Amino acid sequence: MVSWICKECGYQLSADEFEDDYVFWFCDNCDAYLNNQENFDRGADRHICRNCGYENDTTLDNVKGICSDCGKVIADQEATLCPECKQRREQKAKEWLAKAGKVVGVVTAVAGAAAYLASQISSDDSTEDDTDGVSLKKD
């Protein structure tokens, strides 16, 4: 049973292959997709690209990561961001934190002012006596 078919080349990938740590191999020279080329063997250490003739290393030592932001190939297969995108995200996080800090400061100032006004109003109320709905000012 086929679970995935490439819309560009028609390559078919079964669910079993996909779940079995399937690796999509591309030529290091011309970026051609290798898995669907004639004589490609997933168990072999090398494959000669049928497009350009380049001999590719198809061992797991040659597996690379891909930046999730820009799509750039990363040497570390476990990495999800290239150094440039990582730096860009860190800068955005710093900017967001600075904005959030300003908002918290404004909210704190407004809350402090409201608390001060409330204390002033309550101290004014303590000088009045409410008797039958009539306020009398104490001397």
| 105 falls within a domain | yes
Q: How far apart are CA 43 and CA 32, in angstroms?
A: 19
* Total tally of structural domains belonging to the chain: 2
The boundaries of the domain holding residue 32 are 2-63
Tens digits of per-residue pLDDT, 21-55? 678 888 999 989 898 899 999 889 999 999 999 99
Q: Are 12 and 51 found together in one domain? A: yes
40 & 9 share domain: yes
Q: Find out whether 69 and 85 touch, Cβ atoms under 8 Å.
A: yes
* Residues 89 and 120 occupy one common structural domain: yes
Instruction: Determine whether 47 is exposed, middle or buried from the number of CB atoms within 10 Å of its CB (0-12, 13-18, 19+).
Output: buried
Residue 70 falls inside a structural domain: no
Q: Which residues of the chain have pLDDT under 70?
A: 1-2, 18-21, 103-104, 106-107, 109-110, 112-113, 116, 122-139
Instruction: Specify the pTM.
Output: 0.46
Is the same domain home to 58 and 102?
Answer: no
Q: Would you say residue 133 lies in a domain?
A: no
Whether residue 95 is contained in a domain is answered as yes
Per-residue tokens: 81? 């961001």
